Amino acid sequence: MPELPEVEVVRSGLIPAVTGATVWRVEVLDERSLRRHPGPSEDFVDRLTGVSLVAPSRRGKYLWVPFADAEEALVVHLGMSGQVLLRDVDAPVAKLTRIVMWMDQPAHGPVRVDFVDQRIFGSMAIDRLVPTSDVAGERIPASVAHIARDPMDPHFDDRQFFDRLARRDTTIKRALLDQTLVSGIGNIYADEALWAARVHYDQPTRALSRPRARALLAEVREVLGKALAEGGTSFDAQYVNVNGASGYFAHSLNAYGRQGEPCPRCGRPIVREVFMNRGSHFCPTCQRVRVAGGARG
């Protein structure tokens, strides 16, 4: 599933194409991609046609494009395999395209935006914008308001995160994947940050010291920053940027997907264990559960 770096790469790629653009035509080819829209496809088309757009925004894995003259936004969730692609207006429409939007951009001319989704877990919807609770003047789609800020957000509150983490009766990887505590971190980047910080995925949050929590958050930011610089992580053709190019952070992974390979730090084999219907990848030598008085393997 696309995580923060992949969604941010898509957002950045859309900025020059959609900022200031006016939508003049919309076609819904598969209504299943409107499952989160509060109305039929005709409502989606009518409300989107003719609107002017401003710069796209993002929180965690959610992306939205606000309307210039309304209190609404086009909200995009990529799901497992969603792609937002920029196309020439007359280009053939690919087989797995679910929604097509034609726009006029003053600086670049006509452009087409295609929403392609092989597994149809992603979606588009029009949602109202509501004020955020912590930053004056900031607005966010109502359907995204429950999502916490992500560690790359300039308004992310480190102290609040540490305090809430210490009060959680859970384990650290479950906490990192809890989008109401911190957003944008999925399985890949959780495993990578935990490996970098030498923290076991099953470490109880209440037994995680403040210095180790601070070090882990720093590694989360470091991993996300590197992934952004490398265009995200692509293991197959399902994640691409707006121009159809793959990211190459997969070549920089130290733990995720490396089971059986030597740990880059100690040389012992990386292990994969089943976790929340997926897998956790870690080094059992470098990453041990810390308890009072020491560590256990």
Catalytic one of 2, 5, 66, 151: 2
Active site residue 154: no
Active site residue 226: no
By the 10 Å C-beta count (0-12 exposed, 13-18 middle, 19+ buried), 180 is classed as exposed
Catalytic one of 3, 72, 192, 219: 3
Q: How many residues does the chain have?
A: 297
DSSP the chain: ---HHHHHHHHHHHHHHHTT-EEEEEEES-GGGGTTSSS-HHHHHHHHTT-BB---EEETTEEEEEBTTSSEEEEEE-TTTEEEEEE-TTSPPPTTEEEEEEEEETTTEEEEEEEEESS---EEEEEEEEE-SSSTT-EEEGGGTTSPPPTTSTT--HHHHHHHHHH--SBHHHHHT-TTTS-S--HHHHHHHHHHHT--TT-BGGGS-HHHHHHHHHHHHHHHHHHHHTT---SSTT---TTSPPP-GGGG-SSTT-TTSBPTTT-SBPEEEEETTEEEEE-TTT--EEETTEEE-
Taking the mean position of all CA atoms in its chain, how far away is CA 6?
Answer: 6
Catalytic one of 58, 59, 61, 272: 61
Active site residue 173: no
Contacts of residue 207, defined as CB under 8 A and 6 or more positions apart, other chains included, come to 290, 291, 292
Active site residue 211: no
Catalytic one of 32, 210, 268, 278: 278
**Which two tokens mark 260?**
């059986």
d(CA 170, CA 31): 38
Positions marked catalytic: 2-3, 61, 278
